Structure 1
């Protein structure tokens, strides 16, 4: 018996460093899954489409900032992510319905996405968005809130407009255009809605700020 205990202790000491490293790896699972997904989607886009990215020099070195793009397909989140550098993890706000599938919902959470309830103010999702930006992260938002027909732009939802205003962070406008076997992404220069900072913003001014966002996206759409 003493020999068994000595053997067990020796084995524990031998493998403890590896177990601790494994724990750290599990902590980094989200980054690992994001990296795998990034690589897989980028390879797919390059093989299946002519994938063009314009304006990559406008991508800031560090966060915090909010990426805002038009929304036309389910592939838009990976298209946005693949248009940025791999080291910039984009945390997307995604409709709650996508998380109902346990497996798909688990994967979405692991790659940094989080659910938002549509049709009403979701305080939990807003707090999560604030936390990401407070930690100098990158937040991904499709301000229209739902997919639109190609070439058409909807209105920006007030909730998506309020986040960069409240957090006083810049917005990186991006347009996505898909035609036949070609994907064109155009990235504009950072801009801020600083005229609305540090005050209560009435509904009509939120609408005005939303129009500014959509116009910035439209400018990129016209260039692509």
Structure 2
């Protein structure tokens, strides 16, 4: 058992019963090939929650500062996270992300770049659009819905892949591509909110 699988088992046994996590749309998730997984961001617990509910291992971009925290700096690389400098175009992180997608891996992104204080979906950063347009990966929108309150239900909903084939031909901007992804995440939230 790898460290990733071990961590997933441990975290799953704690978080799933605590937040009564319900997963929907898992059948939409591609079984193989590169996947760009884009999720809304409402809590620090979002990465582990997505990690335990996703059927395949996910590599997350995480803010560089986290890799300076003593315990985290040894854990993060072992759970497939890699650093990204915020507030600037981090070419190294972009190259790493594209390379993962090319190798048929799952790249997890929170396009808003930071947690939403209100719980509402904010504006996405251009990174999501960049990966969507520059790779052949399937783009899967995902929404985390509900409060992180013990024993209240938390939903993780995986949407259908977003088809960017026609949009790539139209040469849309990375900003517009990100907006389309964020729009799909909002639609999932609107549809699955009880």
- TM-score, structure 2 normalization: 0.90
User: 1:217 maps to what in 2?
Assistant: 185
Deviation by residue 1:41-100 (Cα, 9 ceiling, x = unmatched): 111122212110111111111121111000011110111111112xx1100011111111
Distance 2:179 2:171 in 1: 18
Which of 93, 118, 121 lines up with 1:125 in the alignment?
Answer: 93
- Secondary structure at the aligned position of 1:131 is classed as helix
User: 1:68 maps to what in 2?
Assistant: 38
Q: 1:198 Cα deviation (Å)?
A: 6.3
**Structure 2, unaligned runs of 5 or more:** none
Structure 1 range deviating more: 125-134 or 190-199? 190-199
- Pairing of 1:1-224 with structure 2 (within 5 A): 32-85=2-55, 88-179=56-147, 180=149, 181-197=152-168, 201=172, 205-224=173-192
- Secondary structure at the aligned position of 2:83 is classed as strand
Q: Which structure shows the higher helix fraction?
A: 1
Q: 1:149 Cα deviation (Å)?
A: 2.6
**Structure 1, unaligned runs of 5 or more:** 1-30
Q: 1:168 Cα deviation (Å)?
A: 2.6
Q: 1:164 Cα deviation (Å)?
A: 1.9
Structure number with greater Rg is 1
Structure with bigger RCO (C-alpha 8 Å, 6+ apart): 2
- TM-score, structure 1 normalization: 0.79
- Secondary structure at the aligned position of 1:197 is classed as helix
